[in-house]
Amino acid sequence: MSALHGLRVLDVTQVLAGPFCGQLLADMGADVIKVEPPGAGDQSRRALGFSMKGDDTAAFLAVNRNKRSLTLNLKTDAGRDAFYRLVRGSDIVIENFRPGVAKRLGIDYEALREIQPRIICASISGYGQNGPYSARPAHDLIAQGMAGLMSVTGEPGGPPAKVGISIADLSAGLFCAYGVVCAVVARERTGRGQYVDTSIFEAPVAMAVFESTELWGLGRVPKPLGSTNRTAAPNQALRAKDGYINVCAANERLWRKLCEALGRQDLPADPRFAENMDRMAHQSELAEELELTLVERDVADWVDHLLAAGIPVGPILDYGQVFSDPHTAARGMVVEMDHPVEGTLKGLGIPVKLSDTPGSVRRAAPILGADTDEILCEIGYSADEIRRMHREGAA
């Protein structure tokens, strides 16, 4: 049995942040029903990146596994009534409409808790349900800029740079899943559901743990540092003979061990590098000195040598190397799924391993509406009623 077995989630989300949240819950065993508009479905099925064999994009397939797809037109009375009937037997509803849209559709928390007092409703929006920016449209790129990420990413003096992955969207989905699970635990004590509100703006702001302390503790606005660290040096990417290597000698013991392993016992005696604050103040000169030695040998040689000396170190891999790495395989971070159109699909594994109630990858992302009749039948619709809903465009 998986950790969330027995929980039913209605996933009324599109694109990335919301679907990722739903997939996290589904991976841990929840029955996640993806509620989509008939005909079009989640807009990312057709309008986000490339497709492979079928019509659905690879981006859609990546964040909607372990779900069932139900098509309902929530703008129709029949579609909304079916949704309400589903809510009566469900635990969680997640949506990522702009603030106010769920209320106009009649599926906001105030409406749904009248039907099911134990329901947990979760919203992921651009900026949250209140505040001066709440009505603005949002995007991962916009959120990264407004949350400060782009002011600290990239090389010093360079143009603004975004984090390479969609960190604002994905972290918002992660925080929302965390909030939902917290609400489920609270419901065990209180017997009541509640409303969960997060945003793709707040998620990256909440990750500024070092940057906020630099601002508040030193009165200094954080700037981009390339690969270097805000709190210790050397802790960065350094050039070797055939590429770059990440070296983290973040305390005095490791710093001296590094110098010994490199044969550079002269460096601790240099007043520029004597203490951590000195090294922080002279990071460029420190990198130049270390690279004078590192460029003499290949990355693989240095990784083996420095690991043997007890120093945290690693190569910088591209994704082709990451997903062919034996440790990635050993940790189960590449999985395969059978899809009725795409055939065998590769996907990311589950990064949280529970010893007694582990998650699992049970099915690939669903074809649009593939489970509509099955789900409607589960909640008491007859075959004639289901056919009528299809005819009238309600399902």
The answer to whether residue 325 is catalytic is no
pLDDT digits (tens, 9 = 90+) for 252-274: 999 999 999 999 999 999 999 99
Inter-residue contact 244 to 300 (CB < 8 Å) = no
Q: Where does the pLDDT of residue 293 fall: very low under 50, low under 70, confident under 90, or very high at 90 and above?
A: very high
Residues 341-363: b if buried by 16+ CB within 10 A, e if exposed? ebeebebbebeeeeeeebbebee
pLDDT digits (tens, 9 = 90+) for 3-27: 999 999 999 999 999 999 999 999 9
Burial of 291 (0-12, 13-18, 19+ CB in 10 A): middle
pTM beyond cutoff 0.85: yes
C-alpha distances in angstroms, 266 versus 1, 263, 286, 291, 307? 59, 8, 12, 14, 21
CA distance linking residue 133 with residue 129, whole number of Å: 9
C-alpha distances in angstroms, 332 versus 321, 349, 355, 364? 15, 6, 14, 17
How many C-alpha atoms does 28 have within 13 Å on its Cβ side?
Answer: 21
Q: Phi then psi for 83, rounded to 5 degrees? A: -65, -45
pLDDT digits (tens, 9 = 90+) for 146-156: 999 999 999 99
Inter-residue contact 18 to 24 (CB < 8 Å) = no
**Other beta carbons within 10 Å of 269:** 9
Inter-residue contact 204 to 170 (CB < 8 Å) = no
Q: Phi then psi for 2, rounded to 5 degrees? A: -85, 165
Q: Is the pLDDT of residue 318 over 90?
A: yes
Q: Is the pLDDT of residue 170 over 90?
A: yes
Percent of the chain with pLDDT over 90: 96
Q: Where does the pLDDT of residue 48 fall: very low under 50, low under 70, confident under 90, or very high at 90 and above?
A: confident
Q: What is the pLDDT of residue 186?
A: 98
Catalytic residue from among 27, 42, 169, 384: 169
pLDDT digits (tens, 9 = 90+) for 115-160: 999 999 999 999 999 999 999 998 999 999 999 999 999 999 999 9
Distance of alpha carbon 278 from the chain centroid: 37
**What SS3 class is residue 225?**
coil
Region 38-49 average pLDDT: 91
Q: What is the pLDDT of residue 51?
A: 86
C-alpha distances in angstroms, 389 versus 35, 68, 78, 219, 372? 15, 19, 7, 62, 11
Q: What is the pLDDT of residue 52?
A: 84
pLDDT digits (tens, 9 = 90+) for 77-109: 999 999 999 999 999 999 999 999 999 999 999
